[in-house]
C-alpha cells in the first residue's frame, strides 16, 4: 500500500511511480501523507517529461516525415507542401528539431529575402513550419512547445494588383486563337468569364456544366462554387468537348502566347492575371464586393477587398463629408503667405 497508518498514529508514505524509483516518508496526519504522495507522483511525471524532452534528438527532416504521414498527406496541396518543407529543412541545415530557434529561422529568412525571394513567400515558410510543430504537439509526437511560436511574420507594402485593359484582352485573345493549341483559347475565356483559377478551368468535366452555370470542384478553399456564364460560352465549351473530349494541360502554351504580347506583366504574373482582370473589371463596373467574394471563392472578405479601390464610388464620401465640404469656396492664400513661398 502507498499510505499506511502506523501504531503510534503517524502515517507512512511508500510510493513507487515507476519500478526502481521509490519515495518514503513518515508524516503526522493522513492529509499530509496524501499531499506528499500526490506531490511525488506529479513531480516525477514532470521530471520524466523533462528527461524525455532532453533525450529527443530527432532531426527536423524526421519530424517533417512523421507530420506528413500522420497529417500532411491529407492536405489538398500535400505533395507541394512536403517538397517545400524538405527544401526548407535542408536550407536550415536539418537541425535537431527541438534545438531550432527563432534566430535560426530569422537568419534563414534574411538569406532568402537577400536572394530575391518575396516576403510573402518567406512568411508562408514560417506559417508552414509552425504548423508542423503545432500539429505534432497536438498529436503528442513532441512534448515541447513550438520554438517559432513568438516569431512574427514580416510586414510588407501591398502592391496594387495588375489587370488587363480591354485592348490588351483583345490582343491576347487574337494571339491565342492562332497559338496552335486548341485548348488554351476556351480555357482563357472561362477564366475571364468566371474569375476562376487556370487549374479550375482546365480540370472541368461535362458534369461541371449545366443550366448555363460552371460548377467548380476541387477548389483551393475546398468548397464547391458555381458561376453563371453566357449561352454562347456554354455552346463553345460543349462543342470543344465533343471534338476533343475535354481539356488538356495548356499553361505552357498560354505563357508562350503571353510572351508574344506587346504588353508586359509584373514578375510572377501569368495565368493568374486573368483572375485579377475579371475581378477588377467586375468592381469597376459597379459589381458588389460581397458578390465578388462568392464568385472568386475567397474564404474571407479580406482578400476580396484588394479590389475595392477600383469601385466607381469607392470612398466618394471623402468629397462630401470632409471638413471643407461645407465651404462655398476655399479660402485663398493671403499675400504674406504667397510672398513667403
- Residue 180 belongs to a domain with what CATH number? 1.10.443.10
Active site residue 185: no
Place of cell 504574373: 269
Active site residue 220: yes
> Are residues 175 and 229 both part of a single domain?
yes
Active site residue 298: yes
Query: Which residue of the set 84, 272, 306, 314 is catalytic?
Result: 272
- In whole angstroms, how far apart are CA 276 and each of 30, 130, 162, 203, 299? 74, 30, 7, 20, 17
| Per-residue pLDDT, 327 | 79
Active site residue 272: yes
> Are residues 220 and 304 both part of a single domain?
yes
Note down pLDDT in tens along the chain; length 341 residues.
Answer: 578 888 888 888 888 766 667 778 888 888 888 888 887 777 765 555 554 555 789 999 999 999 999 999 988 889 999 999 999 999 999 999 999 999 999 999 999 999 989 898 999 999 999 999 999 999 999 988 899 999 999 987 766 678 999 999 999 999 999 988 999 999 999 999 999 999 999 999 988 988 889 999 888 878 899 999 999 999 999 999 999 999 999 999 999 999 999 998 887 789 999 999 999 999 999 999 999 999 999 989 988 998 888 888 877 778 777 887 777 777 776 655 555 55
Query: Which residue of the set 82, 225, 275, 281 is catalytic?
Result: 275
Note whether 148 and 107 are within 8 A (CB): no
| Per-residue pLDDT, 106 | 96
In terms of residue numbers, what domain contains 40?
A: 3-55
Residues 6+ apart with CB under 8 A from 108: 88, 91, 92
> Are residues 240 and 282 both part of a single domain?
yes
> Are residues 123 and 183 both part of a single domain?
no
DSSP assignment of 89-139 equals HHHTT--BGGG--HHHHHHHHHHHHHTT--HHHHHHHHHHHHHHHHHHHHT
Q: How far apart (Å, rounded) are the C-alpha atoms in residues 2 and 116?
A: 65
Tell me if 20 is assigned to some domain.
Answer: yes
**What share of residues in the chain are helix, strand, coil (percent, to 5)?**
55, 10, 35
Tell me if 84 is assigned to some domain.
Answer: yes
| Per-residue pLDDT, 313 | 81
Tell me if 112 is assigned to some domain.
Answer: yes
Residues 160-196 as b or e (16 or more Cβ within 10 Å = b) = ebebbeeebbebbeebbeebebebbbbbbbbbbbbbb
> Are residues 173 and 287 both part of a single domain?
yes
Q: 47 is written with which cell numbers?
A: 521530471
Query: Which residue of the set 81, 98, 109, 197 is catalytic?
Result: 197
> Are residues 261 and 234 both part of a single domain?
yes
> Are residues 278 and 214 both part of a single domain?
yes
| Per-residue pLDDT, 193 | 95
Active site residue 144: no
Q: How far apart (Å, rounded) are the C-alpha atoms in residues 261 and 264?
A: 7
> Are residues 80 and 10 both part of a single domain?
no
Q: How far apart (Å, rounded) are the C-alpha atoms in residues 143 and 121?
A: 29
Count structural domains, the chain.
Answer: 3
> Are residues 197 and 303 both part of a single domain?
yes
Q: How far apart (Å, rounded) are the C-alpha atoms in residues 338 and 340?
A: 5
Q: How far apart (Å, rounded) are the C-alpha atoms in residues 25 and 33?
A: 8
Query: Which residue of the set 112, 220, 256, 314 is catalytic?
Result: 220
CA angle 224, 75, 132 (to 5 degrees): 140
> Are residues 194 and 295 both part of a single domain?
yes
Active site residue 314: no
Q: 232 is written with which cell numbers?
A: 454562347
Amino acid at each position: 500500500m502507498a499510505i499506511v497508518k502506523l501504531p503510534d498514529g503517524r502515517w507512512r508514505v511508500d510510493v513507487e511511480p515507476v519500478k526502481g524509483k521509490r519515495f518514503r516518508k513518515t508524516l503526522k496526519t493522513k492529509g499530509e501523507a496524501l499531499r506528499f504522495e500526490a506531490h511525488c507522483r506529479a513531480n516525477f511525471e514532470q521530471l520524466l517529461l523533462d528527461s524525455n524532452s532532453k533525450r529527443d534528438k530527432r532531426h527536423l527532416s524526421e519530424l517533417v516525415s512523421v507530420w506528413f504521414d500522420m497529417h500532411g498527406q491529407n492536405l489538398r496541396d500535400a505533395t507541394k507542401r512536403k517538397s517545400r518543407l524538405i527544401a526548407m529543412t535542408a536550407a536550415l541545415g536539418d537541425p535537431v528539431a527541438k534545438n531550432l530557434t527563432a534566430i535560426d529561422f530569422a537568419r534563414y529568412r534574411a538569406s532568402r529575402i537577400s536572394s530575391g525571394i518575396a516576403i510573402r513567400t518567406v512568411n508562408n515558410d514560417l506559417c508552414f513550419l509552425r504548423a508542423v510543430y503545432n500539429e505534432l504537439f497536438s498529436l503528442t509526437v513532441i512534448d515541447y512547445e513550438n520554438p517559432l511560436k513568438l516569431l512574427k511574420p514580416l510586414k510588407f507594402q501591398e502592391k496594387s494588383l495588375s489587370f488587363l485593359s480591354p485592348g490588351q484582352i483583345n490582343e491576347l485573345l487574337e494571339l491565342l486563337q492562332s497559338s496552335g493549341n486548341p485548348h488554351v483559347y476556351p480555357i482563357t475565356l472561362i477564366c475571364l468569364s468566371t474569375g476562376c483559377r487556370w487549374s479550375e478551368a482546365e480540370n472541368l468535366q461535362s458534369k461541371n456544366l449545366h443550366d448555363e452555370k460552371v460548377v467548380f470542384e476541387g477548389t483551393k478553399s475546398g468548397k464547391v462554387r458555381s458561376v453563371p456564364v453566357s449561352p454562347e460560352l456554354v455552346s463553345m465549351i460543349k462543342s470543344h468537348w465533343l471534338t476533343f473530349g475535354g481539356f488538356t494541360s495548356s499553361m505552357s502554351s498560354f505563357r508562350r502566347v503571353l510572351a508574344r504580347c506587346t504588353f508586359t506583366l509584373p514578375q510572377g504574373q501569368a495565368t493568374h492575371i486573368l483572375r485579377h482582370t475579371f475581378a477588377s473589371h467586375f468592381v469597376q463596373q459597379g459589381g458588389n464586393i460581397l458578390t465578388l467574394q462568392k464568385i472568386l471563392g475567397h474564404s474571407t472578405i479580406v482578400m476580396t477587398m484588394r479590389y475595392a479601390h477600383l469601385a466607381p464610388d469607392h470612398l466618394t464620401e471623402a468629397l462630401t463629408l470632409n471638413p471643407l465640404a461645407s465651404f462655398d469656396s476655399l479660402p485663398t492664400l493671403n499675400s504674406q503667405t504667397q510672398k513667403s513661398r
